[in-house]
């Protein structure tokens, strides 16, 4: 039985057990990503983050990393899309 | 960024590197926080706490980056920048000293809960017991203030004085019914005294009873006597000063002869119908204050009682009204400084000769009449008929006529020794004179 099944069986949040990224968006102005591993690339129009589920790309305009810490990163700007790149 | 770091000192750095993402990741793993990271072509700009700057050295070496500080902000950098400006350092020292000295003195007194005792009265009282603005806070004895205020003001039932910062708060509770209660107590005492006199006999030389006398001429409309002997009846015409209810109660024996006289406090509900002339005159011509719309404002600074004008001193108007607006400077709610700033505004006006219209004059005269009537009503006088008319007489409006009123009579007059004397005594006295 894998971690996923155990988490489902015990009803525990998967972001805690599996380290899944948790994304919180405020309109299209701000996005907060928890459980990310590192920054892959950082440009004005895109920020790529490495997560356990793969590489996530935040696309938009005038993107700026507002702050980061060990667990989360917050990106500000005009956000157009968020997608996983495999 | 934490508030502490933002105040103490933070820097804006520009990192030029081929691998700026690696730079950010390494900073993250070494727990060096960067904020507001904005990317450029081959660089990034970010804010960071000044204390973390030296920890970047290893990151810079490993990522082969170049770091340049492009802005320094915060107290630490300001203090360093102005370290040789002695006047600046002295200014900071003086400012801190000034604040400390100000905190030692009382600069504001606030009263709350006072209704009949006005703020100027209470301030004058506190001044008289040595508590005033500008005194040392350490010398204020709140217990003494509370005790003295309770002693000296009968109206105050509860008082609490507290000092917060350099602000003295005096919370007061007044007894609204105090005066009425005192009057009742006084009347009760006097009636008890008269009762005691009645029981104790006529050995007491002082006469404690009283009559009720008429205060104006009129006709008695109704009389209900509770104590004493009524001297008038309904429909009688009375004149001012006449005794309406006597405080003498005559006691007769079975044979119908006068045994004794007792003094009581006469008590009765008496209504006298009377007519009072009312007259009020209003000159038709008057000087009206017309504001021209021109005004001048002078900013002022007040240090205690000394007021300093900033700018021009005289308004330059012939006639003007002055409006003062001052505000005490407070660093926080309870920390006042001996400085008040505000403004003094002069509004120019001209006096224009005007004349009241009939409606305006009638309005003013009616208002005066209503004020007079409401004063009567406050004294429980009933207005039966109002025969007042407004007439224009040459250059003036005259409001005159007669008011028919029902006036309660409660004026008391003391009893005299003669009223208490028995008729036999007088006869005996005359006989003695004749025999001698």
Residue-wise pLDDT for B267-305, tens only, equals 999 999 988 888 888 888 888 889 998 888 888 888 777
DSSP state of A71: S
Q: What is the pLDDT of residues B85-95, one digit of tens each?
A: 888 888 888 99
Nearest to A68 among B28, B38, B39 (CB): B28
Domain boundaries, chain B: 3-80, 108-174, 286-355
The answer to whether the Cβ–Cβ distance between A43 and B44 falls below 8 Å is no
> CA-to-CA distance for B132 and B175, rounded, in angstroms?
26
Q: What is the pLDDT of residues B117-158, one digit of tens each?
A: 888 889 899 999 988 888 898 899 999 999 999 888 888 889
Three-state secondary structure string covering chain B: CCHHHHHHCEEEEEEECCCHHHHHHHHHHCCCCCEEEEECCCEEEEEEEHHHHHHHHHHHHHHCCEEEEEEEECHHHHHHHCCCCHHHHHHHHHHHHHHHHHCCECCEEEEECCCCCCHHHHHHHHHHCCCCCCCEHHHCCHHHHHHHHHHHCCCEEEEEEEEECCEEEEEEEECCCHHHHHHHHHHHHHHHHHHHHHHHCCCCCCCCCEEEECCCCEEEEEEEEEECEECCCCCCEECCCCEEEECEEEEECCCCCEEEEEECECEEEEEEEEEEEEEEEEECEEEEEEEEEEEEEEEEEEECCEEEEECCCCCCCCCEEEEEEEEEEEEECCEEEEEEEEEEEEEEEEEEEEECCHHHHHHHHHHHHHHHHHHHHHCCCEEEEEEEEEEEECCEEEEEEEEEEEEECCCEEECCHHHHCCHHHHHHHHHHHHHC
Chain B contact for A64 (CB, 8 A cutoff): yes
The size of the A-B interface in CB pairs under 8 A is 40
B3-80 and B108-174 have identical folds: no
What pLDDT shows up at residue B165?
Answer: 83
Six-digit token string for B9: 């000192």
Q: Across-strand partners of B218?
A: B238
DSSP state of A2: -
The answer to whether the Cβ–Cβ distance between B33 and A43 falls below 8 Å is no
pLDDT band at B435 (very low <50, low <70, confident <90, very high): very low
What pLDDT shows up at residue B185?
Answer: 53
- The answer to whether residue A4 sits within a structural domain is no
The answer to whether the Cβ–Cβ distance between B21 and A65 falls below 8 Å is no
CATH number of the domain encompassing residue A32: 2.60.40.2000
pLDDT band at A13 (very low <50, low <70, confident <90, very high): confident
The CATH number given to B3-80 is 3.30.70.260
What pLDDT shows up at residue B180?
Answer: 54
What pLDDT shows up at residue B181?
Answer: 52
Residue A31 pLDDT exceeds 90:
yes
- CB atoms closer than 10 angstroms to residue B366: 14
pLDDT band at B202 (very low <50, low <70, confident <90, very high): very low
Chain A contact for B19 (CB, 8 A cutoff): no
> CA-to-CA distance for B244 and B411, rounded, in angstroms?
10
* Distance (Å) of CA B279 to CA B283, B312, B355, B368, B392: 13, 50, 21, 10, 13
Token pair 């459980």 in the structure block, residue = A35
The answer to whether the Cβ–Cβ distance between A67 and B35 falls below 8 Å is yes
Q: What is the pLDDT of residues B352-399, one digit of tens each?
A: 888 888 888 889 999 999 998 888 888 888 888 888 888 888 788 888
Range of the domain at A35: 19-85
When divided into structural domains, chain A yields a total of 1
Six-digit token string for B204: 């007491």
Chain B contact for A45 (CB, 8 A cutoff): no
pLDDT band at B424 (very low <50, low <70, confident <90, very high): low
Nearest to A42 among B1, B36, B39 (CB): B39
Are A83 and A56 a contacting pair, CB within 8 Å?
A: yes
What pLDDT shows up at residue B436?
Answer: 43
Helix axis angle, B142-152 relative to B119-128, nearest 10°? 120
Token pair 């949040």 in the structure block, residue = A13
Are B325 and B345 a contacting pair, CB within 8 Å?
A: yes
- The answer to whether residue A54 sits within a structural domain is yes
pLDDT band at B38 (very low <50, low <70, confident <90, very high): very high
> CA-to-CA distance for B241 and B215, rounded, in angstroms?
6
What pLDDT shows up at residue B200?
Answer: 43
Residue A75 pLDDT exceeds 90:
yes
**To probe the interface with A, which of B21, B31, B65 has the most A CB atoms within 10 Å?**
B21
Nearest to B39 among A38, A43, A70 (CB): A43
Question: How close is the nearest chain A Cα to the Cα of B39, in Å?
Answer: 6
Six-digit token string for B431: 């006989």
- Mapped onto helix, strand or coil, the DSSP state of residue A5 is helix
Nearest to A44 among B20, B28, B39 (CB): B39
Chain B contact for A44 (CB, 8 A cutoff): yes
**Which residues of chain B are within 8 Å of residue A67 when distances are taken between CB atoms?**
1, 33-36
In terms of Cβ atoms closer than 10 Å to its own Cβ (0-12, 13-18, 19+), residue B364 is: middle
- The answer to whether residue A7 sits within a structural domain is no
Q: What is the pLDDT of residues B237-267, one digit of tens each?
A: 998 888 899 888 888 888 888 888 888 888 9
What pLDDT shows up at residue B418?
Answer: 77
The answer to whether the Cβ–Cβ distance between B21 and A42 falls below 8 Å is yes
The answer to whether the Cβ–Cβ distance between B24 and A68 falls below 8 Å is yes
Nearest to B37 among A40, A64, A69 (CB): A64
Nearest to B20 among A42, A44, A70 (CB): A42
Nearest CA-CA partner of B116 in B148, B157, B145, B151: B157
A76-80, B126-130, B203-207: segment of lowest average pLDDT: B203-207
pLDDT band at B108 (very low <50, low <70, confident <90, very high): confident
- The answer to whether residue A56 sits within a structural domain is yes
Mean pLDDT of chain B: 83
B208-223 mean pLDDT: 88
Superfamily, domain B108-174: membrane protein fhac (3.10.20.310)
DSSP string, A6-60: HHHHHT--HHHHT---EEEEETTTEEEEESEEEEEEE-SSEEEEEETTEEEEEEE
The answer to whether the Cβ–Cβ distance between A41 and B44 falls below 8 Å is no
The answer to whether the Cβ–Cβ distance between B35 and A43 falls below 8 Å is no
Q: Across-strand partners of B18?
A: none
Phi, psi of B225 (to 5 degrees): -100, 130
- CB atoms closer than 10 angstroms to residue B422: 13
Question: How close is the nearest chain A Cα to the Cα of B33, in Å?
Answer: 7
Closest alpha carbon within chain A to B38: A64
pLDDT band at B70 (very low <50, low <70, confident <90, very high): very high
* Distance (Å) of CA B60 to CA A58, A70, B16, B127: 27, 20, 10, 70
CB proximity list for B251: less than 8 A, separation 6 or greater:
B258, B259, B260, B261, B262
């Amino acid at each position: 039985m894998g971690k996923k099944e155990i988490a489902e069986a015990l009803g525990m949040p998967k972001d805690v057990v599996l380290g899944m990224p948790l994304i919180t968006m405020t309109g299209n102005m701000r996005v907060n990503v928890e459980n990310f591993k590192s920054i892959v690339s950082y440009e004005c129009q895109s920020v790529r983050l490495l997560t356990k589920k793969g590489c996530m790309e935040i696309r938009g305009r005038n993107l700026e990393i507002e702050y980061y810490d060990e667990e989360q990163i917050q990106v500000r700007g005009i956000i157009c899309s968020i997608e996983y790149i495999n | 960024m934490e508030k502490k770091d933002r105040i103490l000192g933070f820097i804006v750095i520009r990192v030029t590197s081929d691998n700026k993402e690696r730079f950010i990741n390494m900073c993250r793993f070494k727990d060096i926080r960067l904020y507001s990271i904005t990317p450029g072509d081959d660089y990034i700009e970010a804010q960071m706490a000044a204390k973390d700057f030296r920890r970047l050295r290893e990151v810079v070496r490993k990522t082969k980056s170049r770091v340049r500080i492009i802005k320094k902000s915060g107290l630490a950098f300001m203090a360093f920048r102005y370290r040789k400006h002695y006047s600046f350092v002295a200014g900071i020292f003086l400012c801190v000293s000034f604040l400390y000295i100000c905190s030692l003195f009382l600069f504001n007194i606030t009263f709350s809960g006072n209704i009949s005792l006005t703020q100027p009265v209470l301030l004058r009282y506190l001044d008289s017991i040595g508590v005033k603005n500008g005194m040392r806070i350490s010398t204020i004895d709140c217990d003494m203030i509370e005790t003295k205020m309770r002693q000296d003001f009968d109206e105050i039932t509860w008082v609490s004085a507290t000092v917060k910062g350099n602000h003295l708060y005096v919370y007061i509770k007044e007894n609204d019914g105090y005066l009425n209660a005192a009057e009742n107590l006084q009347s009760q005492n006097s009636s008890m005294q008269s009762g005691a006199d009645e029981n104790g006999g006529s050995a007491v030389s002082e006469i404690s009873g009283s009559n009720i006398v008429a205060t104006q001429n009129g006709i008695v409309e109704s009389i209900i006597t509770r104590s004493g002997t009524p001297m008038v009846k309904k429909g009688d015409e009375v004149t001012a000063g006449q005794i309406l209810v006597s405080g003498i109660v005559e006691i007769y024996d079975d044979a119908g002869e006068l045994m004794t006289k007792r003094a009581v406090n006469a008590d009765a509900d008496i209504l006298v119908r009377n007519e009072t002339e009312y007259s009020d005159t209003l000159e038709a011509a008057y000087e009206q204050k017309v504001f021209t719309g021109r005004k001048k404002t002078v900013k002022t600074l007040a240090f205690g009682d000394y007021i300093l004008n900033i700018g021009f001193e005289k308004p330059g108007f012939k006639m003007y009204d002055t409006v003062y607006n001052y505000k005490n400077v407070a660093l926080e709610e309870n920390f006042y400084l001996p400085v008040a700033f505000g403004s003094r505004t002069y509004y120019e006006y001209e006096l224009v000769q005007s004349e009241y219209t009939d409606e305006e004059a009638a309005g003013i005269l009616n208002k005066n009449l209503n004020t007079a009537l409401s004063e009567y009503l406050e004294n429980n006088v009933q207005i039966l008929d109002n025969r007042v008319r407004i007439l224009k007489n040459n250059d003036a409006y005259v409001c005159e006529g007669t008011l028919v009123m029902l006036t309660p009579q409660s004026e008391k007059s003391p009893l005299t020794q003669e009223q208490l004397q028995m008729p036999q005594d007088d006869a005996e006295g005359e006989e003695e004179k004749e025999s001698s």
